[in-house]
Amino acid sequence: MNKRSSWLYSLLLITMLGGLSSSAMAQNKQTDSTIDGLVKSIGMIKPSLTRAPDFSLRDTNGAPVSLSGKRGSWVLLNFWATWCGPCRDEMPSMETLNQNFAGQGFTILAVNQKESAAQVTRFMKTHGLNFATPLDSDGRVNAAYRVYGIPVSYLVDGAGNAIGMKSGARDWGSRDVVEALRKLIGAGGGNTGSGGSLALEPATRLPNTLRAKGSALVLHSQQDPVSEVVAKLPIGEEVTPLGKAADAGDDWYMVRTKVGVIGWVRGADVEEAGKGR
């Protein structure tokens, strides 16, 4: 190979390597801009729940508030109480977020844990907070989201999918959160989906106890027969129903075992204790 050919070959190799490097950088940048990357960038992890359980509660004025009523908007779903110090610490930053994204495809639902409307109203007015505070008076919605300590926050997309979870307080008004949310809302990620939401039925009378119909009872982590199994109970053991959900005609009960394990069972697999004997 003569000197001219060698020089041309080296130039071509450098150009090719440079192009590959630029392509890799662009690909990494694109990956960082995905929904998972944006959620991770604000300190949230992928939740074990895929579908955010729907609910209908009353706010401090007695008006109904439901998660399905926010379809098409991103929702920061926060679980809190006025006696919780970390909850109080993050509330001002949530109000900042609320003001930044008012009317822009984003809303905050701060689900209060077992406190009265008067307590919550007084707290919200004292601290100048204006976002919705549904009252989970019996803890049913907290249990559906497996909230065992507060504060806990879920990020739910416009199709009702739970895409991020944060345990503990967060500065929700920080620049990284605001920028990530702007990108998520702008991309419309998940806003076009819909399909059978799982509605927790607050008005349904629940049996006092349930038991399996003739075989061992399997508790699932979600309202899905192929989801993770959280417990298998021996024949005859009874469970306490906490709520009821329906999806495409298939009923599910959220139940608690005698040792406190919470999971979901198909309505077709259980019956009210005391019946059929």
CATH of the domain at 94: 3.40.30.10
| pLDDT of res. 27 | 41
Whether 67 and 193 share a structural domain: yes
Range of the domain at 268: 204-272
Domain identity same for 251 and 153: no
Same domain, 124 and 111: yes
59-69 pLDDT tens trace: 999 999 999 88
Quick one: pLDDT at residue 248? 52
In a domain, 277, yes or no: no
Whether 191 and 268 share a structural domain: no
Which residue positions in the chain have pLDDT lower than 70?
1-33, 187-205, 221-223, 227-228, 246-249, 262, 275-277
Phi, psi at 103, each rounded to 5° = 70, 20
Burial class (CB in 10 A: 0-12, 13-18, 19+), 146: middle
pLDDT per residue as tens digits for the range 220-255: 766 677 766 778 888 888 988 877 776 556 788 877
Q: Tell me the pairing of strands 106-113 and 135-136.
A: parallel
Tell me the pLDDT of the chain averaged across its residues.
79
Cβ pair 172, 93 in contact under 8 A: yes
Question: Cβ(126)–Cβ(93) under 8 Å?
Answer: no
The number of distinct structural domains making up the chain is 3
Domain-located, residue 45: yes
- Are 139 and 227 within one domain? no
Answer yes or no: do 28 and 95 share one domain: no
Instruction: Say what the pLDDT of residue 221 is.
Output: 65
Same domain? 189 vs 246: no
